[in-house]
Amino acid sequence: MPKMLLIDQEKCSGCRSCELACAVAKEGVANPSRGRITAIRWEGEGVMFPMVCQQCHDAPCVAGCPVKALYWDEKLGRVYLDYDVCIGCKFCVAICPFGAVGVDAGARKVYKCDLCDGDPACVKVCDYKAVQFVDVSTANMMKKREAAERVSELIRRYA
């Protein structure tokens, strides 16, 4: 059964451990800015908010990719980026409403969360359980997706 990243914004302390763990796991460098997950910090408002690929079922990046390098991976419940197909045009970077696709300028490639193939590194280091990787029944998953869609709808309306 696929699992998904469940983010509880209320619990985030803004410590950036998730970013660091991600950068180490995916890039082998201890540089938080190179993680696929980003802890947004609005110091003034005291808001911390981990942003990561929402693994949208009907994703703008998938719809916009000119070579079908991005597609829905049913098994792991994720939007998968196939580097063998990607031509590096960066359109996914621009079109994602969540800013969840990044560019590695050095390696000249785009990157996004791939859920670490089912064992996400960010989850292991989050002491506050703001980022969790939860097993969900299909019904439950649909509910979560609905919530995610509501969030994206709100962003659409109020961003």
Partner 1 sequence: MHIVIIGSGIAGDSAATTIRKLSSESRITIVSKDDEPLYSPCALPYYLAGHIGREKVYLKGLEDYSAEGIDVLFGTRVTALDTQDKVVLLDSGTLTYDKLVIATGSKPLQLPIEGIDQEGVFVLKSAKDADRILGCKGKAVAVIGAGPIGVEVSIALRRIGYRVFLIELCDWILPRLFDQRPALFLARYLAQRGIEVFTGERLLTVHGNGSVTGITTDKRDLECDLVFLSLGMVPEAQLAEDAGLVLGPLRGVDVDQAMATSEPDVYACGDCVETRDMITGQRVLSLLWPSARQQGEIVGHNCLGHNRLYPGSISMLGLNIFRLHAVSFGLTAAGISNEHQVEVVEERLDTGYYRLIAADGFLVGLQAVGMTRGIGQFLAAMRGRVKLGEMRKNLRSPLASQPLWRYILSPESVTVCAP
**Given the rule CB under 8 A, which residues bind partner 1?**
9, 40, 42, 45, 47, 49, 51, 60, 63-64, 66-68, 85, 87-91, 93-99, 101-103, 108, 151-159
Which of 29, 63 has the CB closer to partner 1? 63
Alpha helices by DSSP H, listed for 5-137, are: 17-27, 60-64, 91-95, 121-125
Which of 3, 35 has the CB closer to partner 1? 35
Alpha-carbon distances, residue 105 vs 72, 79, 109, 126 (angstroms):
26, 22, 7, 28
Give least dist CB 156 to partner 1, A.
Answer: 4
Which of 45, 139 has the CB closer to partner 1? 45
Q: What's the full length of the chain, in residues?
A: 159
The rounded distance, in Å, linking the Cα atoms of 86 and 67 is: 7
Give least dist CB 62 to partner 1, A.
Answer: 9
